[in-house]
Chains A and B, each alone.
Chain A
């Protein structure tokens, strides 16, 4: 059959063969191929070798493919968290007017999404205490990269050095390195002491050449940073931006970033709104209002329409690449708008009570699990004398299986996934989605360790 019918072409073009013929006739050509203006020397005449499958075949095939993943209970975190997402979020975010829409370049017809993003920005302003939040970035790592480039653009800070903790997760560090590669900035490291910032060492490391000091809470190993105010003072003394890393759940309980002197807040917003999705994230980005014209990414603002009613629109687009080209504050165009919508829905469904309670339980669950693991002979948890949020390092250095890799593999055989930090330490993370398996997990660690 010719490829102009529904049956063997794309199933998503509505043309009947008769319609196609009529349209071609109107254009004065006989075949669709005549409409293509590709010179012979670069035209592709071969086969791609991709077999067309029915919808049912694709669904079945992918179901089988995904079934090849092992069914493990994950005690994994380190920047990517599994929190229970209310059905409301799936159900409403999947409404096609949200899901299948584009960037809101025609605000009159996209008020719904604009308002939802305005509400998302507002929630981040509340959570961070800073004046401005954007409508999302790709993830926490790219948001940190953008914060570094923001620091370089600001005239009030001069210097070339970005200071980050030694314990920064590799993914964040590697992304940051790439973001600053085209600038004059370099990334330098300051040490931790007992799992959080070594403030004396930081004070020595921060010099007039420092343009940004980054600290995070919780840290990559889940510790709640006790000295953020001091970090802010060190940054301030060096005339550097204090960039505070966190996530949207932790911000519901921990001291407001603005209160400890944060200039910029970056981190993960998708810890609410998105289930574990093999690495998908949403970058939260908030900063002081005085940096407004240097903010990367989309901003939604309130305005009025012809009937003088409040309405929303993308604003300050002269910062963006489609207007400013190479002088834009960022190259970001498509961001994570739909996940930001889901985050806003999730926060709204929790409310202040629910979010504070989720955050509080994230501390309680971690300390309860650590205490139970610590009772096991040869196991120490948490390793550092710190408060923890969701997760903490576990030393098996004195256990029967003293090697962390071997211990993790033995736990895997028993149905659990954990991180290995180094030769003797694991890291475990507990939330409401794996809490049901804590008893079995503790028993498995005991078996492995003793």
Chain B
């Protein structure tokens, strides 16, 4: 399939910037109720009519690729279809309340938070869940900060966090941000954790091991029970990166595997829109020993007798309240996190239920395996679940990706993880049909066999052709002011 993306513009530029159409300068201080020294002298912004703006943004949208444009098999990113009805739910005006309202006036929102905490705890096999972190990496930061607070509370002197080489970059950055030394763990020959290397890495200094399971190439860490025992025996905690949870829904729970802390990427697993890079939400689940350290406020329920309900089964007689866990780490977001994203995640989970969640994992795994079977590329590590790393062999994976853009699909994640040469990390998700998977496979197979010249010229059907990233970094122009300055310098 050939793909043509809409493009606008002239010989110099694509769709003009708002600032290139019309701008107005005002002097906000003039006629202000404020004295001169408190107000700005000048403000210059685009000045366009509503129809002009509507066209501008419609054109920009047509120069952009989303899940509804076509398949988007970015490994580890879990780009699946976002059901429409969740937008309707999130747009409910009754849900739009200020976060500082008293508890008794926002029982609806608190109930939803409570129920979502409960659902996520069940899905992860965890005892308590906070919804506050506004993204996956914020969840990691929350989880590692909770681990640190736990160790501090018990006077455990710990200085290291172990992270597999194949882990998401956020794991490394998070551990460093929390003040830990990062110990990088090489992958074993079978693509999994090298148990001997782990034994060598684990010590009394180990605060936590951060893992995702299935791992970044979709392989299940079969030794997880032994891994957990090893880390726990050294007094460390096991952290689960929820990036790959879509492969496990209703089939395996991090809590049952020995993980103590986990985050959920609700924008991945529970199909809330990624929004071009956010908002997301990264709730964090913990086992009971760590619950007292979760961010404040947390939400709990009381029954008619005023007793705090422990298990939170569905009941009509509950009232909901925010409270501060006794050893809380404090806050990781200025208010209570990305509420609208959480509401969409709840709606998605409720729509699927047990059966739908299990089936999502089944179809995601089926699709990944079926797609790999159709590819003329080698897949060095298996058996895999929801995603796999194919190798482009002697071709440059980044070039192959550019070639695929012309064939109507978004390419996979390329050149990562690093232990797979010319990696093409592919995750079709459950939402692609067999026919779409066949098209996707065709795009792969065609691009990987395209001649050098074709690939070097690709993409040709997208809004822009190959973009010069080197000069963008060498001579950064990060605003329309910088473009004006550059023109003025010439």
Contact = CB atoms under 8 A, between A and B. Distances in A.
Interface stretch (A200-208, A352-360, A394-402, A436-444): A352-360
A160 interface: no
B150 interface: no
Given A65-B112, A118-B480, 7 more contacts: A39-B222, A39-B225, A111-B462, A305-B465, A310-B14, A332-B138, A334-B277
A55 B350 CA distance: 9
B276 A32 contact: no
Contact of B465 (A115, A307, A363): A307
Interface string B469-490: 1011100111111110000000
A79 B482 CA distance: 31
B117 interface: no
Q: Which 6 A-B residue pairs are closest in the complex by CB-CB distance?
A: A52-B353, A338-B275, A279-B335, A182-B179, A141-B334, A9-B359
29 contacts: A11-B83, A14-B433, A23-B370, A37-B222, A42-B225, A42-B257, A44-B125, A44-B256, A53-B351, A61-B350, A79-B334, A103-B276, A108-B459, A108-B466, A112-B60, A118-B480, A119-B19, A123-B45, A174-B296, A253-B40, A277-B339, A292-B476, A299-B478, A325-B169, A334-B277, A335-B135, A337-B276, A352-B23, A356-B43
| Most chain B CB inside 10 Å of its own CB: which residue of A117, A172, A335 | A335
Contacts of B63: 111-112, 115
Given A306-B465, A352-B47, A360-B33, A102 B274 contact: yes
Nearest to B90: A277
B11 A69 contact: no
A69 B94 contact: yes
Given A98-B275, A113-B276, A333-B137, A36 B385 contact: yes
B123 interface: yes
Given A12-B83, A69-B108, A333-B137, A304 B471 contact: yes
Contacts of A174: 296, 330-331
Interface in B370-427: 370, 373, 383, 385, 401-402, 405, 410-411, 413, 416
A339 interface: yes
Interface stretch (B68-76, B198-206, B301-309): B68-76
A275 B90 CA distance: 11
Contacts of A63: 92, 94
Given A14-B432, A103-B277, A324 B169 contact: yes
Contacts of A105: 74, 413
B62 interface: yes
A299 B14 CA distance: 20
Given A101-B65, A118-B479, A141-B334, A351 B48 contact: yes
Nearest to B347: A58
Contacts of B186: none
Given A109-B459, A141-B333, A315-B476, A99 B464 contact: no
B170 interface: yes
Contacts of A52: 351-356
Interface string B318-337: 00000000000111111111
A278 B105 contact: no
A253 B27 CA distance: 9
A253 to B, nearest CB: 5
Interface stretch (B51-59, B284-292, B445-453): B51-59
A92 B370 CA distance: 37
A328 B355 contact: no
Contact of B61 (A59, A98, A172, A183): A98
B140 interface: yes
B235 interface: no
Contacts of A88: 50, 53-54
Contacts of A20: 363, 366
A15 B433 CA distance: 6
Interface in A80-103: 80, 82, 88, 91-103
A295 to B, nearest CB: 9
A38 B15 CA distance: 50
Contacts of A67: 94, 108
Interface string B90-105: 0010111111111011
Interface residues of B, number: 199
Contact of A76 (B43, B98, B411, B472): B98
Contacts of A44: 125, 250-253, 256
B45 to A, nearest CB: 4
Given A279-B99, A334-B136, A302 B466 contact: no
B370 A9 contact: no
Contacts of A181: 145, 148, 178-179
Contacts of A338: 273, 275-279
A424 interface: no
B423 to A, nearest CB: 14
A79 B481 CA distance: 29
A139 B58 CA distance: 27
Interface stretch (A233-241, A254-262, A372-380): A254-262
A107 B64 CA distance: 9
Contacts of A141: 331, 333-334
Interface in A215-267: 224, 226, 252-256, 259
Given A8-B355, A279-B337, A62 B169 contact: no
A49 B279 contact: no
A97 B480 contact: no
A336 interface: yes
Given A9-B363, A278-B99, A37 B383 contact: yes
Contact of B251 (A38, A61, A78): A38
A50 to B, nearest CB: 5
Contact of B479 (A62, A133, A254): A133
Given A102-B72, A255-B37, A356-B26, A19 B434 contact: yes
A53 B353 CA distance: 7
Given A111-B14, A326-B182, A356-B28, A345 B53 contact: yes
Contact of A352 (B24, B138, B385): B24
